[in-house]
């Protein structure tokens, strides 16, 4: 069935009758936004190569898996996966180490290992995996420590990339990264979002 749209005097559909577009914007409003950006509404709808791209990565890690690795390999495992800053953030103080007042399931001391918050290690491991999903490497994966969850003095966390991880982000035109982490019921989780401009990416 073909819809009949009311026309104005010039024979074009009236503003009220024009279809909505991305995000519920009226087509006229979309035209105005596109003009402000120096592009046409058709560009926005058809996929303008200068438009931004949003990538999302999500990962879950069982705290028990991290506990097993720490108990089996000790600090050698921790230092291989996590940066010195991340290790310091996850290290338990003497008051909360095993034998102190640490909640059950939040700390473990393996052979030759210090005491860590396993929940925090798991959520950071999940964040690293989520970053890899955002970067979408076609070849070798970045080394774990080239992806760092950096905790500010205020308590908020941000991502810092070096080495291959930073190169992959540059090649993808990634301009911003954001991370959110949590842990509950024996699972660490992280969501990473990236804002990229593919037109500004660096060739391989």
Is 21 contained in some domain? no
pLDDT of residue 167 exceeding 80: yes
Task: Please give the DSSP secondary-structure letter assigned to residue 199.
Answer: G
- Give pLDDT, residue 86: 98
Which CATH number covers residue 156? 3.90.470.20
Q: What is the mean pLDDT of residues 131-139?
A: 96
Q: What is the mean pLDDT of residues 58-65?
A: 98
Of the two residues 159 and 198, the one the predictor is more confident about is 159
Is 40 contained in some domain? no
Is 29 contained in some domain? no
Binned at pLDDT 50, 70 and 90, residue 129 comes out as very high
Tokens of 129: 């995996």
Percent of the chain with pLDDT over 70: 63
Is 180 contained in some domain? yes
Of the two residues 170 and 110, the one the predictor is more confident about is 170
- Give pLDDT, residue 199: 73
What confidence tens digit (pLDDT) does each residue in 22-51 have?
Answer: 344 444 544 554 455 455 545 544 555 567
Is 13 contained in some domain? no
pLDDT of residue 117 exceeding 90: yes
* Highest mean pLDDT out of 86-100, 113-127, 148-162: 148-162
Q: Is 155 left (phi over 0), alpha (psi -120 to 50) or beta?
A: left
Is 38 contained in some domain? no
Are residues 22 and 31 in contact, defined by beta-carbon separation less than 8 angstroms? no
Binned at pLDDT 50, 70 and 90, residue 176 comes out as very high
Percent of the chain with pLDDT over 90: 58
Is 66 contained in some domain? yes
Q: How far apart are CA 126 and CA 140, in angstroms?
A: 19
Burial bucket for residue 112 (CB in 10 Å: 0-12, 13-18, 19+): exposed
Binned at pLDDT 50, 70 and 90, residue 11 comes out as very low
Mapped onto helix, strand or coil, the DSSP state of residue 180 is: strand
- Give pLDDT, residue 204: 60
Is 67 contained in some domain? yes
- Give pLDDT, residue 23: 41
Instruction: Report the chain's mean pLDDT, rounded to a whole number.
Output: 78
**How many structural domains comprise the chain?**
1
What are the distances in angstroms from CA 44 to CA 25, 31, 35, 39, 126?
12, 9, 11, 8, 34
- Give pLDDT, residue 20: 39
Note down the domain range covering 117: 54-200
């Amino acid at each position: 069935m073909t819809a009949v749209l009311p026309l104005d005097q010039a024979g074009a559909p009236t503003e009220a009758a024009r279809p909505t577009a991305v995000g519920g914007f009226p087509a006229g409003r979309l035209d105005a936004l596109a003009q402000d950006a120096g592009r046409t509404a058709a560009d926005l709808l058809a996929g303008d190569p200068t438009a931004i791209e949003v990538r999302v990565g999500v990962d879950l890690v069982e705290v028990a898996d991290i506990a097993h690795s720490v108990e089996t390999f000790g600090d050698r495992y921790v230092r291989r996966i996590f940066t010195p800053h991340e290790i310091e953030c996850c290290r338990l103080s003497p008051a909360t180490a095993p034998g102190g007042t640490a909640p059950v399931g939040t700390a473990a001391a393996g052979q030759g290992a210090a005491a860590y918050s396993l929940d925090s290690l798991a959520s950071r491991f999940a964040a690293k995996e989520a970053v890899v999903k955002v970067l979408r490497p076609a070849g070798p994966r970045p080394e774990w420590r080239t992806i760092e969850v950096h905790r500010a003095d205020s308590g908020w966390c941000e991502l810092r990339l070096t080495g291959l991880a930073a190169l992959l982000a540059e090649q993808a035109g990634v301009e911003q990264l954001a991370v959110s982490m949590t842990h509950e019921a024996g699972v660490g989780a992280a969501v990473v979002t990236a804002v990229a401009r593919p037109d500004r990416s660096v060739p391989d």
